[in-house]
Amino acid sequence: MRTKIGQSGMVEVDGPPSSPRRRRRPRLRSVVVTGGAGYIGSHTVLQLLLGGYKVAVIDNLDNSAAIAINRVRELAGDHGPNLTFHQMDLRDKPALEGLFASTKFGAVIHFAGLKAVGESVKKPMMYYDNNLIGTIILLEVMAAHGCKKLVFSSSATVYGWPKVVPCTEEFPIAAANPYGRSKLFIEEICRDIYQSDNEWKIILLRYFNPVGAHPSGYIGEDPRGIPNNLMPFVQQVAVGRRPALTVFGTDYSTEDGTGVRDYIHVVDLADGHIAALNKLSDASIGCEVYNLGTGKGTSVLEMVAAFEKASGKKIPLIYAGRRPGDVEIVYASTEKAERELNWKAKYGIEEMCRDQWNWANKNPYGYEPQDHTT
Ligand code: NAD
Ligand code: UFG
């Protein structure tokens, strides 16, 4: 008996052609996605639904809006009913226990966490409480219910200021702030858990710089307050919410003096999670790390030029000094993910900027009907 994804995106189970009674109802794989209302989570939930998964999203909506879930459901069409939303905080252990007791889940993709580097420096305990305690409680509940397959959102931030690029998964890891340390600690916790109980199968995905939006322009990134990251800021300048982009640092040892990063389309990143989920079924997998990037470095000025081309909008620039804690050049080695996950990013910066602009143009205030920026 073989399974395949049918045209409808549902998982079909093949029986002998002459015996229709052997055809079974599709058995959907059931996955929990923590932080599934957020930027990367919402795009991943959509790809999961379209791939025939049944998805239970857990999110406290601390940095997201329920409307994102509704839009994912709509985009998923016939697969929309396979999405359930559970507004809860990961640290609410009884609530989490209730969910895991009610359904047998095959795996968890764990996005939920706080992610603003500057805020983490000012409020380290808030970051340790949310990111570490939330993860520990999740892992405890998963183990108690025999769900021992995990994909975790780590970050290229754990490479710090790399001595050389591209960054391979074997590079030493370090953290420069409490946010980065929370990622590093969780990676170590996962390695320890696997050492203590090798029934666990864990994939740690180190994301580089996710940008862009779903090509429909219906879901995308909607940061609260002043955006910390480059492309959300650029998009807010383009729609007239902010007067100019401040370029942090023009004296780096790069071609045009601005910082270089590995920008990756969020849909490619989402697909990387499906590849990781598939890999969790490999008998050989224990606790493994994979970079998710494109392997290409792009400077701030190159990114701004690509966005101006895609949008037809001029982005006024203010040149300023380096942002404390920023690194010069970071991009990924993609070989391990290509080889072992059979995954490779498909989109370049033109598509990233095209889709970022499409989202911004259709939703100038994100999921809000008007400006609530503080
Ligand atoms: P996001 O803020 O849009 O999504 C995170 C979601 O988690 C939000 O919807 C938030 O409400 C939810 N959440 C936070 N704490 C929670 C808790 N205790 N209980 C339940 N829900 C909670 O962020 P994102 O950009 O989608 O990032 C997802 C993950 O990827 C994060 O762990 C982040 O650190 C990591 N990551 C992001 C980037 C990036 O540049 N966006 C880069 C590397 C790694
Ligand atoms: N930049 C500006 N102006 C801005 C914002 C950013 O010039 O207003 C520059 C930065 O100096 C840097 C580049 O744009 O050179 C990218 O900055 P981002 O803040 O978009 O991204 P970072 O690489 O600094 O950090 C992001 C996340 C981290 C994550 C890391 C790797 O914020 O949490 O990517 O995934 F760890």
Alpha helices, DSSP H only, in 259-337?
A: 266-279, 300-311, 335-336
> Cβ(293) to ligand 2 under 6 A?
no
For atom 29 of ligand 1, which residue has the closest CA? 111
Residue type, 201: K
> Cβ(62) to ligand 1 under 6 A?
yes
The maximal CA–CA distance of the chain, rounded, in angstroms, is: 72
Distance 72 CA to ligand 2 centre (A): 27
Catalytic residue annotation: 179
Q: State the residue for tokens 């406290």.
A: 60
Residues pairing with 210 in the sheet: 264
Residues with Cβ < 8 Å from 345, sequence gap 6 or more?
A: 264, 265, 268, 272, 292, 293, 294, 295, 334
pLDDT of residue 231: 98
Q: For residue 265, which phi and psi values (nearest 5 degrees)?
A: -65, 135
Residues pairing with 85 in the sheet: 57
Do residues 338 and 265 lie in contact, with contact meaning Cβ atoms separated by under 8 Å? Answer: no
> Cβ(182) to ligand 1 under 6 A?
no
3-state secondary structure of 4: strand
Q: Which ligand is nearest to the CA of 262?
A: 2
Question: In a structure prediction context, what are the per-residue pLDDT tens digits for the chain, which is 374 residues long?
Answer: 333 333 333 333 333 333 444 444 333 499 999 999 999 999 999 999 999 999 999 999 999 999 999 999 999 999 999 999 999 999 999 999 999 999 999 999 999 999 999 999 999 999 999 999 999 999 999 999 999 999 999 999 999 999 999 999 999 999 999 999 999 999 999 999 999 999 999 999 999 999 999 999 999 999 999 999 999 999 999 999 999 999 999 999 999 999 999 999 999 999 999 999 999 999 999 999 999 999 999 999 999 999 999 999 999 999 999 999 999 999 999 999 999 999 999 999 999 999 999 999 999 999 988 765 54
Distance 217 CA to ligand 2 centre (A): 23
> Cβ(157) to ligand 2 under 6 A?
yes
For atom 33 of ligand 1, which residue has the closest CA? 115
Residues pairing with 151 in the sheet: 109, 203
pTM reported for the whole predicted model: 0.93
Residue type, 196: S
How many Å apart are CA 53 and CA 179, to the nearest integer? 31
How many Å apart are CA 136 and CA 62, to the nearest integer? 19
Distance 292 CA to ligand 2 centre (A): 16
> Cβ(259) to ligand 2 under 6 A?
yes
